[in-house]
Amino acid sequence: MHFDVAGDDFYLDLLFFHIEQLRYVVIELKTGKFQPEHAGKLGFYVSLVDDRLRREAHAPTVGILICGDRNDHTVRYALGRSGSPMAVSTYTYDSLPPSEKNALPDADELAAALGWEGEAQGSHD
């Protein structure tokens, strides 16, 4: 989703609307380990959605950051003063059943498809 902020372009990775909870859900995706600045970017996107899309009848927007790895202590400090509901989660192929793993591309294939060659183990902003 694209937002123009006084001439600056910003693109949310994923934006959903939860019908039962009447709230927007902003999802930011990172391939590498969680960094504190990721929380700032997610908070920026949550504020942007609240300002531009959220209506009075809607519940507060939720921000979820999904990354390859995290240090729970770093996450706690990064989100400690946030006034918005935000969470950080990790992803892994390891817990998937073998049939599901075989149906999905691996990290190198995804990085190549997205033009991120050599970044499969790094981070992407």
Question: In what order do the strands lie in the sheet containing 62-67?
Answer: 14-18, 23-29, 62-67, 86-90
| β-bridge mates for residue 89, sequence order | 66
pLDDT along the chain (125 residues), means of 10: 95 94 93 88 94 95 88 84 75 68 71 64 47
Please state, in angstroms and rounded to a whole number, the distance separating the CA atoms of residues 59 and 116: 36
Tell me the pTM.
0.70
What does the pLDDT read at residue 61? Answer: 94
SS (H, E, C) 33-83: ECCHHHHHHHHHHHHHHHHHCCCCCCCCCEEEEEECECCHHHHHHHHCCCC
What does the pLDDT read at residue 80? Answer: 79
Number of neighbouring beta carbons within 10 Å of residue 115: 7
